[in-house]
Chains A and B, each alone.
Chain A
Amino acid sequence: MVALSPRSVVLLVITYSQAARQSLRNACNGHPETAVRRFGRAALFEATEFGAFLALRLREKHGGDVQVERTAPLNEFAEVPERVRTAAAAYEARSHPNTPYAKFAAGTDHPSPETLRDVEL
């Protein structure tokens, strides 16, 4: 597989049927410069016009059995509030591995899972 290119945005293509999965495999094998990664029934395509072309071809062929999303790397410093980053780091550093996050956060300044779930990035 070709290493992920410096272009940051990629298309995520996910298949939902055997036939679509096979077509995706063929597309990835046929165009390794565009299909930069494959995970079984899903793959990342370069967000170039050719990548879009490949993705849309799959959708034309398999309709609802193909999902196409556009993704970008997450810059947690620009896009995620500090309290979330801090909570994640603190939780991973916890001394009791079997503590679920909800319990860990209780009684601390860390946000509860419910409040985290309620807020969109």
Chain B
Amino acid sequence: MRLRVDGETVVGPALDVRDRAVAPRTVLAAIRDAADPQVACRAPGRVHELVGHVHPGMECSLQRALAAAARSRGQTTTHRDPLDAIDEELAASSPATVDLADARRRVADASADVADRREQVARASGRVEARRDAELDDAAATRRLREATRRLSEAETERIAAEQALASERRRAREARDERERRLRLVDRRRNLERRARAELAAREADRFERAIAALPVDAPPAPPEEFAGPDAVAALAVVRLAAPRAPVVIEEGPFRHAAQARACLHGPVVLI
């Protein structure tokens, strides 16, 4: 590993920069970013994502970290195949997007028109009656009534068409929802399988975890992962030791007196910071 700090380049698998003016986050970001020139090192994987930065007060999802450690050793579970099958199905599924808003708006507008024109017919009809009652010529009024009736009929036809279009869109929407529901069931099933796989994989690392805790220069009593009561930072160091990630692990205020001790204990490159 090569690390640039204070204008100088330090090289080696076990670096101690505790007395230098450099922030842990900067170094960590540089480790994770291959294009960042501050650090040159092996690319970090999933284990490093989870425990690549060990510091006091950190939170470590131990089950996830142990599962990642198991996977990095090539371990898989019987859930892998069904998980892959689910991923394939999800990739192949693309439910249609059916926008009912336009169809609904059309029905709403059409209904409003019908109501409007019905009112106009009523008024026109009233005028014809009034003319006849007064024994006045009703030809013009009758023409207007016929016109209003014709327009009402047009509006009613449009409303029926709009309602049919909406019904048809609703049918398409229902089919699309069937597909969405299927996706949701697949997603839920995938989460369950992933959870079970993680638990299984983590369980396989239980003994190695306990032995790793015992090998650390800390006071925390060794225990299997579910019973371990020590700080998350210690659990994380144990995972680092048993998974031996190839990318450098950044350790803040760790239990190691010097970098070489850390490297020997953790079996991999370290930066004490």
Contact at B181–A16, with CB atoms within 8 Å?
A: yes
Which residues of chain A from 9 to 50 have a CB within 8 Å of any chain B CB?
16-18, 21, 41
Q: Is the CB of A67 within 8 A of B177?
A: yes
B95 x A18 contact (CB < 8 A):
no
B187 interface contact, C-beta 8 A: yes
Question: Which residues of B227-259 have CB atoms within 8 Å of chain A's CB atoms?
Answer: none
B95–A64 touching, CB < 8 Å: yes
Asked, given contacts A16-B180, A16-B181, A17-B180, whether A64 binds B173 with beta carbons under 8 Å apart, the answer is: yes
Measured CB to CB, the closest approach of chain B to A57, in angstroms, equals 15
A98 to chain B minimum Cβ distance, whole angstroms, is 31
Q: Which residues of A contact B188 (CB under 8 A)?
A: 18
Closest residue on chain B to residue A17 by CB atoms: B184
Residues of B within 8 A of A113 (CB): none
Q: Which residues of A contact B (CB under 8 A)?
A: 16-18, 21, 41, 63-65, 67
CB-CB under 8 A from A63, the residues of chain B are: 97
Question: Contacts of A67 on B, CB cut-off 8 Å?
Answer: 173, 177
Q: A21 — which chain B residues lie within 8 A by C-beta?
A: 184
A-B contact count (CB 8 A): 27
Could you tell me the dominant secondary structure of chain A's interface residues? helix
Contacting pair B97 A17 (CB below 8 A): no
Which residues of chain B are near A17, meaning CB under 8 Å? 180, 183-184, 187
* Interface of B: prevailing SS: helix
Return B16 CB to nearest CB of chain A, in Å: 45
A53 to chain B, nearest CB (A): 16
Whole-angstrom CA separation of A17 from B187 in the bound complex: 9
B98 at the interface (CB under 8 A from A): yes
**Interface check B176, CB cutoff 8 A:** yes
| Interface positions of B from 182 to 203, Cβ below 8 Å from A | 183-184, 187-188
Residues of A within 8 A of B187 (CB): 17-18
A64 adjacent to B176 (CB under 8 Å):
yes
| Neighbouring A residues of B96 by C-beta, 8 Å | 64
- Cα distance A63–B184 in the bound complex, in angstroms: 15
Residues of the B chain whose Cβ atoms lie less than 8 Å from the Cβ of A65: 180
Taking the closest CB of chain B, its distance from the CB of A88, in whole angstroms, is 26
A-B contact pairs, 19 of them (CB 8 A): A16-B177, A16-B181, A16-B183, A16-B184, A17-B180, A17-B183, A17-B184, A17-B187, A21-B184, A41-B184, A64-B95, A64-B97, A64-B98, A64-B173, A64-B176, A64-B177, A65-B180, A67-B173, A67-B177
